[in-house]
Structure 1
């Protein structure tokens, strides 16, 4: 991790010393917030790339755009009062080879896209606003129409764009940016290493129109990612660890592990869960969440155990967490869209070395630890924590779970299998 920090510092210094600023309004972008600026901004990105690199600067004002594709040696900066606002017309996001929900497939481009752009940065203090309300309403209307037919809608049925998609890019920095109202996932990192997301404010609403599947940060086949000093409140998982799904997912080259992840000094508002392993994850390891505050009704850690996917979740540490949450942990079968694809495989999960320590938390209950019957579980430990719980219960299927110096409602907890 120290080498990672040094490489980020070197990359940031190199970029700042070499890059020139290109303000979009000097190259054809219009401050009329109703006028689409995609062509002007993309033309500038392409020009800056060809001239050797530089930073695309969004000045104060609201600038409407469809999908933008950043190129090597280009960066994005949003000044105070700047808003890059996504179009709410899916026609402004081309259908291209992509990655969604643990699969290689054609999908719609995000608002901000970077493919094989090493040393890419997005910096604030301005705002990237996905303008997602129209997409959210379409999703709920479609889901409700299928319910009347006793059918189920998937996330991919209603076409809607992500806000930021970074693919195959190393030494990436996203810093001091307000990131709002994604149509779909908010920040998706795929096959990208050495990433710093720092001091960002990431939000999508629960009300009046809920923003479905707007995960704050999706980390997908990545190594060495730091999420630091961020505020995240979204209508799905705050931070989700991805990597692939299906009975042969672990053999496919587009899939892989997520490892060496540090989440620290963050605050988590409303969300479905703070840190989620799954629902498309084959191997998550060496993940630490520390020195964070929570203010929600969700689990600190959720492990979605797919019976159609081989999964290994190991060496996960949750420490020095304060505030209010729904539960400490939720590990349970995840059978949504179960699909063995005709395979005779019998996938199972392996869970080991999951440590919760130094928690000072108020919660509804301690949680659930009940995976699929074939899952192998060892080394889940809760230690040195003070918990206040409305229901001081942990629904636990595993004798290997330990409690060491854990006080619940003023009484040291003695763990029983139940």
Structure 2
């Protein structure tokens, strides 16, 4: 009986191994050694082949140039040591398709790596996905400056550029031990995807010599149960950004929704616009925890962008056990970029409650600046065990619901005046 069980188990193991076959792209028609040759069709053919039986598409050592790739159910992606999947810098290699951008469902250009309804999808390293974004960045700044010269304002979407990774409607996703560099636009965008783990990743884009505009590290958009763990993140926009929709009726639209149960832990943040942002396209976030992280930045540790054209609710947010250097620890401020009521008679406002900031030891410009729009409702903010060395002593707040417990600024106990 025992032998029979072991035999059946062995067959099951062999069946699983066959199901989980590796598809090394250079064994299936993708040429190695010429990083200037566009390999989109050849790599996509390998993905399509892997999808038939299920398996992992493997990028071996070398640099492989590609446009948009579309992963399918039963496929995964692995980049071996020394492997680089390099994005084309020609937007023509990223098709315009139904997508999600800036809090709205709309047609937009595909990312370099796309996974739509791929349960169990994973991207693993230790190789690199490099967006090769410099051409897009240069043109973005050129275009924005040219609009300013004629008295006009340019939006982010007017200069067409691809994201690095876009995962939509895919649950139980893992992105592990991979380098995500130099995206043309947002780096990692999760939309309507639950139970996602991003860990041990190096996520970065430059500030110099050309800033990489709007290259958010991780955008979490209408998702639940997301963990970002032990990552290094330094990008020329928000590090981890909570999204979900924007506009006066955004809270009523089925494609929008809450971001809930997010854990950011053990991460190190370099320069960014903020390590954790409840963003310019966010309607509701609940139970978000950032803990045991380090920061070395001149911008906020975390902040709420309060849109006067969008109903927003941020609740049960905890930031704890943080060390390092930042601009401010916590910021609530109006966000009026591209304000648009769209002809609506609605009068949106934001609600912020149950915010805990504790066990923080940090150098900063100022501990906190807390002032939203006139109709916002803010309560239940607690600072506990804060040790700050600040250039501007004090906490600036427009609200009564701020509580201080053992807050020490520049060596002196601090109480609100």
Matched with 1:35 is 37
Answer yes or no: is the 8 Å Cα contact 2:394–2:414 preserved in 1.
no
Q: Shift of residue 16 of structure 1?
A: 7.5
SS in 2 for 1:260: strand
The aligned runs of 1:94-173 (5 Å cut-off) are 94-173=95-174
Q: Which runs of 5+ in 2 are unaligned?
A: 1-14
Instruction: Evaluate the alpha carbon distance shift between residue 16 and residue 121 of structure 1 in structure 2; reply closer, same or farther with a 3 A threshold.
Output: farther
Distance in 2 (alpha carbons) for counterparts of 1:147 and 1:252 = 34
Q: RMSD over aligned Cα, in angstroms?
A: 1.1
Q: Partner residue of 2:24?
A: 23
Residue 247 (structure 2) aligns with: 246
Contact 2:394–2:409 (CA under 8 A) maintained in structure 1: no
Which residue in 1 is equivalent to 2:6?
Answer: none
Equivalent residues in 2 for 1:10-409, closer than 5 Å: 18-31=19-32, 32-50=34-52, 52-409=53-410
Residue aligned with 1:47, SS? helix
Deviations 1:248-270 (A, max 9, x none): 00000000000000000000001
Q: Distance in 2 between matches of 1:15 and 1:409?
A: 60
Question: Per-residue CA shift, 1:249-292, capped at 9, x if unaligned?
Answer: 00000000000000000000010101000100000110000000
Partner of 1:411: 412
Residues 266 and 293 in structure 2, CA contact (< 8 A), matched pair in contact too? yes
1:91-134 CA deviation, whole Å, 9 max, x = no partner?
00000000000001000000000000000000000000000000
3-state DSSP of counterpart to 2:147: helix
What secondary structure sits across from 1:144 in the alignment? helix
| In 1, Cα distance between equivalents of 2:16 and 2:208 | 40
User: Is contact 2:168–2:190 with CA below 8 Å preserved after alignment?
Assistant: yes
How far, CA to CA, are the matches of 1:214 and 1:264 in structure 2? Answer: 21
- 4+ residue runs over 3 A deviation: 14-18
Distance 1:23 1:68 in 2: 15
How far the C-alpha of 1:193 sits from its partner, in A, is 0.1
**Normalized against structure 1, the TM-score is what?**
0.95
Aligned mates of 1:115, 1:364 — CA distance in 2 = 42
Kept after mapping to 1: 8 A contact 2:129/2:179: yes
Corresponding residue SS for 1:293: strand
Residues in 1 aligned to 2:264 and 2:18: alpha-carbon distance in whole angstroms: 29
Say whether the 8 Å CA contact 2:111–2:164 is kept in structure 1.
yes
Q: Could you tell me how far 1:394 is from its partner in structure 2?
A: 2.0
Query: SS of the residue aligned with 1:147?
Result: helix
Distance 2:212 2:160 in 1: 14
Deviations 1:327-354 (A, max 9, x none): 0111111111111111111100000011
Shift of 1:360: 0.7
Normalising by structure 2, we get a TM-score of 0.95
**1:17 Cα deviation after fit:** 8.5
Tell me, what secondary structure is at the counterpart of 1:41? helix
1:15 offset after TM fit, Å?
8.0
**Cα separation, partners in 2 of 1:15 and 1:300, compared to 1, 3 Å:** farther
Greater C-alpha radius of gyration: 2
Deviation at 1:399, TM superposition (A): 1.2
CA distance, structure 2, for counterparts of residue 347 and residue 364 of structure 1: 31
CA distance in 2, matches of 1:101, 1:339: 13
| Deviation of the 1:302 alpha carbon | 1.0
State how far apart, in whole Å, the 1-side matches of 2:263 and 2:284 are: 16
- Aligned residues between the structures: 402
Question: SS of the counterpart of 1:209?
Answer: coil
Could you say what secondary structure the match of 1:341 adopts?
coil
Q: 1:68 to 1:15 in 2, by over 3 A?
A: farther
SS at match of 1:76: strand
Q: Secondary structure of the residue that 1:193 maps to in structure 2?
A: coil
Q: Secondary structure at the match of 1:288?
A: strand
Structure 1, unpaired ranges of 5+: 1-13
Matched residues in 2 for 1:133 and 1:333: separation? 31
Q: In 2, distance between residues paired with 1:151 and 1:241?
A: 29
Counterpart CA distance in 2 for 1:15 and 1:99 is 35
